Amino acid sequence: MCSPRRGMNMRPNLFKKRLSDATQIGTFVKIDSAEIIELLGYAGFDFIVIDMEHTTIDFGQAERMVRVADLHGMSSIIRVPDASRMSILRALDLGAAGVQVPQVYSADEVRDVVDKAKYPPQGSRGLTYAHRAAGFGHMPGNYMEEQNTAGTIVVHVETVNAYERIDELCAVEGLDIVFIGALDLSVCLGVNGADYMNGELAAPVRSIIEACKRSGKMPGIAVTNAAQYKFALEQRIPYIVWSSDVAFFKQALDAIIQTKSKIELEHTGES
């Protein structure tokens, strides 16, 4: 006779601990594809950020994507479409390691995000055990405490308001990671280009990183090349998102077409 294995199916959320131990490398996932997530896992990525802000991915698709990532040892952060209570609740209930909230403007908004993401007494997240994060009822006795401690809360700094109030934002208790949205920030600040290493955006980005260090918050940033990755490591940024699945696919296709054109030109010259 089979005996119930209560708690045995719960996968511990170790992402925040891993961040404290070593830099974690992830990528934005914009395509609902188990195969792509598997490829990322085989390649050695530490985590994925499921992008629900700039795609049509829904929560049902996101849950399946998290399952595949779990099977390949990757943590999943969900970039929610907005900071609503339902978006944050569903992202965490389906078993993501944390949420990444775009377009925040003030410390009050960040406090509201933390409140929605944490169970009482730290917050007001609604409670049920009939979902994946709680093992559909097969959860340990300290489930709420574990969720409050282990869940990772990320907010974007990509608006003028957030940038000008960076110290206030970083002071919010319960916030874990300040993600620098370089492209949006460059547009909002009206600077020339999104080069955060040497361009006009460099000073604002460094000031955000310094504010994180002063407050004990972890900075996060997106990189697209080796130079930016080296910069992120030099700045001791633990949460690094390297491009996206769409960008990887585009780069590979562009390289194939360039190779094709080169071979065709050589072939034409020979004939």
262: in domain: no
251: in domain: no
Share of the chain above pLDDT 70, in %: 96
270: in domain: no
Query: Quick one: pLDDT at residue 269?
Result: 75
Mean pLDDT (whole number) for 51-65: 98
Residue 13 has pLDDT above 70, yes or no: yes
pLDDT tens digits for range 91-106: 999 999 999 999 999 9
Mean pLDDT (whole number) for 114-126: 98
Query: Which member of 54, 131, 156, 267 is catalytic?
Result: 54
* Partners of residue 99 on adjacent β-strands: 78, 153
211: in domain: yes
Residues 6+ apart with CB under 8 A from 76: 47, 48, 49, 50, 65, 66, 69, 70, 95, 96, 97
85: in domain: yes
240: in domain: yes
Assess whether 54 carries a catalytic annotation: yes
**146-150, 191-195, 205-209, 228-232: segment of lowest average pLDDT:** 191-195
- pLDDT band of residue 116 (cuts 50, 70, 90) is very high
Share of the chain above pLDDT 90, in %: 91
256: in domain: no
108: in domain: yes
* Per-residue tokens: 160: 């003028």
Higher pLDDT, 204 or 12: 204
CATH number at residue 26: 3.20.20.60
- pLDDT band of residue 10 (cuts 50, 70, 90) is low
pTM of structure: 0.93
Phi/psi of residue 176, each to 5°? -105, -50
- pLDDT band of residue 8 (cuts 50, 70, 90) is very low
- pLDDT band of residue 6 (cuts 50, 70, 90) is very low
Residue span of the structural domain in which 26 resides: 15-245
Query: Quick one: pLDDT at residue 94?
Result: 97
* Per-residue tokens: 115: 């409140």
* Contact (Cβ atoms closer than 8 angstroms) between residue 101 and residue 154: yes
Q: Measured in Å, how far apart are the chain's first and last C-alpha atoms? A: 77
Count of domains forming the chain: 1
Mean pLDDT (whole number) for 166-177: 97
- Write the Ramachandran bin of 201: left for phi over 0, alpha for psi from -120 to 50, otherwise beta: alpha
HEC string for the chain: CCCCCCCCCCCCCCHHHHHHHCCEEEEEECCCCHHHHHHHHHHCCCEEEEECCCCCCCHHHHHHHHHHHHHCCCEEEEECCCCCHHHHHHHHHCCCCEEEECCCCCHHHHHHHHHHHCCCCCCCCCCCCCCHHHHHHCCCCCHHHHHHHHCEEEEEECCHHHHHCHHHHHCCCCCCEEEECHHHHHHHHCCCCCCCCCCCCHHHHHHHHHHHHHHCCEEEEEECCHHHHHHHHHCCCCEEEEEEHHHHHHHHHHHHHHHHHHHHHHHHHHC
* Per-residue tokens: 239: 């949460």
DSSP three-state, residue 262: helix
Residue 5 has pLDDT above 70, yes or no: no
